[in-house]
Structure 1
Amino acid sequence: MRGNQPAAGRPASQAATPAERLRSLLVAARSLSLQTPGHQADLVGRHHVAYGRLVVELPAVSCMARHLRHAGEVVTIVEVTDLAPVPIRDRVRARATLGGWLTAAPPNGRDGSQHGGEGERDAGDESTELTAVFELATAELRTSGSITSIAPEAFAAARPDPLAQSEADLLCHLADHHPETVERLAMLITPHRRAGARRIRPLALDRFGIALRVEHSDHDSDVRLDFPAPVENPDRLTEAVGALLAGCPGPAASHADRDRPAR
């Protein structure tokens, strides 16, 4: 469904590239799933991206770590789900599937380390965790009804959104401690989209704007409100929201992302 056109004199909505969204998803995600031939692992707090590559820490005693030590390199599928941090219906915002190869990081190699010392772990030492590097071959990002392929070169060159790591805390703080601000933001949505809404909740946040979930009894709408200028860091968010509310007094500032039946 087409959204409302931007107000006269305002630029078209800006958005992160698919590669940037994927990098941001991996930064924000607390967990991911790894699948290798004959093995599967759900890792919590054991991944990061360094030098454009996904790096994971496998428990030394896990079957996957032992298999990787023996094989040296294994075909791997990585799956990540992006969930809205604020309680709403249908919290899944995006899913990503990455295909490639998992290899043990070389001792003293930079590929396995984003922080000092991690790259110095010996891949053959079973007394420590095994640092493994994922070599990306294919990537797909699935959002509301669309699937986008992302080239490895684009992923490596992209940078995560500056708000990605803080997004969950910022949205929960907004929803729990500043409901009046959410109400004021909701007033920027065109009246016909918010008419009859059961509630309106913060859904997503990035440097370009904030998205709200408009819940009706039989369907939901996601509506995005663009900041006047991109936010450089979390400390500038309050200023950006204030500018949005001050500079966009009418509902023409919003545009719809999607409508969908309630689940």
Structure 2
Amino acid sequence: MPSAAERTRTLVQSTCSATLVVPGTEGARPDQLAPDARTVSADGEVFLLFPAGSPPVRAATHARADELPAVLELTDVAPVAVPHRIRGRARISGRLTCAPGIAAPGHMMLRLEVGEVYVDDLWGDEVVDPDDFAHARPDPLAAYETELLQHLAAAHDEQVRSLSTLLGHRAGDGPHAVRRVVPLALDRFGLRVRCRDAAGASFDARFDFPEPVRDIQGLRRSMHTLFEAAAHD
């Protein structure tokens, strides 16, 4: 399974929603606290791009040295329609400073020196060591996950539904038999789906790949193997 540090690093560098909570910006609109871009440096610092006149930039500009505490809050929502769509949340707290000279005119790059990291997602909740966060790498499929899950749900519904044949007794029977299977999450280690029965009850199931996937070509091979197993079960 992906480590908590890898999962958090993936969220930071993905397209999930983010909000920077900074003292003195309580009256700001949510969109004013959402960075235009975010990335992580080699030593684990989080860089956040904001318009030059945004509330976080004003707060960081007027702060003394590195005395401005800040929290980056991330919310991961499933890109397909499923019950309970929030897949995870992460919180990264630390000290915020300006990093002038990096951003294009009209923008300012803010540097968040990471102090504490916490993630609560489909795998569970865990405190992440800042050093582990700094050395982790985002999942190689993160940039493609949204498109791939939406494609599976729209164009391969029957194949995804066939995965229920691999669930054994968990597939249920009668009114508790699995009626719908929706792709929920994808990473280099496997595919997670959300199953629903006729009564509306749901549960998640995960199908691990034979080996970790490195790229799209490897994913195609792994998905083909998975669907083949479901077709012949």
TM-score interval for Structure 1 and Structure 2 normalised by the shorter chain: 0.7 to 0.9
Flag the 1:173–1:120 CA change in 2: closer, same or farther, 3 A. Answer: closer
Once superposed, what is the RMSD of the aligned Cα atoms? 2.2
Flag the 1:207–1:194 CA change in 2: closer, same or farther, 3 A. Answer: farther
User: Aligned partners of 1:69 and 1:229: how far apart in 2?
Assistant: 48
The CA deviation string for residues 139-173 of structure 1, in whole angstroms up to 9 with x for no partner, is 11112594200011000000011101111111001
- Which SS does the other structure have where 2:11 is aligned? helix
Flag the 1:218–1:120 CA change in 2: closer, same or farther, 3 A. Answer: closer
Flag the 1:250–1:135 CA change in 2: closer, same or farther, 3 A. Answer: farther
User: Aligned partners of 1:38 and 1:250: how far apart in 2?
Assistant: 60
The reply on whether 1:186 has 2:172 as its aligned counterpart is no
Q: 1:240 matched to which residue of 2? A: 222
User: Aligned partners of 2:18 and 2:57: how far apart in 1?
Assistant: 16
Flag the 1:91–1:120 CA change in 2: closer, same or farther, 3 A. Answer: closer
Q: Which runs of 4+ in 1 moved over 4 A?
A: 247-251
The reply on whether 1:55 has 2:47 as its aligned counterpart is yes
State the TM-score, normalized to the length of structure 1: 0.77
- Taking the TM superposition and a 5 Å limit, the aligned residue runs for 1:106-117 are 106-107=100-101
Flag the 1:45–1:182 CA change in 2: closer, same or farther, 3 A. Answer: farther
User: Aligned partners of 2:8 and 2:86: how far apart in 1?
Assistant: 15
Q: Which moved more, 1:139-148 or 1:19-28?
A: 139-148
Instruction: Give the number of the structure with larger relative contact order, counting CA–CA contacts within 8 Å between residues 6 or more apart.
Output: 1
The CA deviation string for residues 195-220 of structure 1, in whole angstroms up to 9 with x for no partner, is 42341100110111101101233532
In the TM superposition, residue 250 of structure 1 has moved relative to its aligned partner by 7.2
Q: 1:150 matched to which residue of 2? A: 128
- Taking the TM superposition and a 5 Å limit, the aligned residue runs for 1:6-25 are 15-25=1-11
In the TM superposition, residue 248 of structure 1 has moved relative to its aligned partner by 6.7
Percent identity of paired positions between Structure 1 and Structure 2: 33
In the TM superposition, residue 120 of structure 1 has moved relative to its aligned partner by 6.0
Q: 1:254 matched to which residue of 2? A: none
Q: 2:141 matched to which residue of 1? A: 163
Say how many residue pairs are matched. Answer: 221
The CA deviation string for residues 108-141 of structure 1, in whole angstroms up to 9 with x for no partner, is xxxxxxxxxxx265xxxxx520101111100111
Q: 2:209 matched to which residue of 1? A: 227
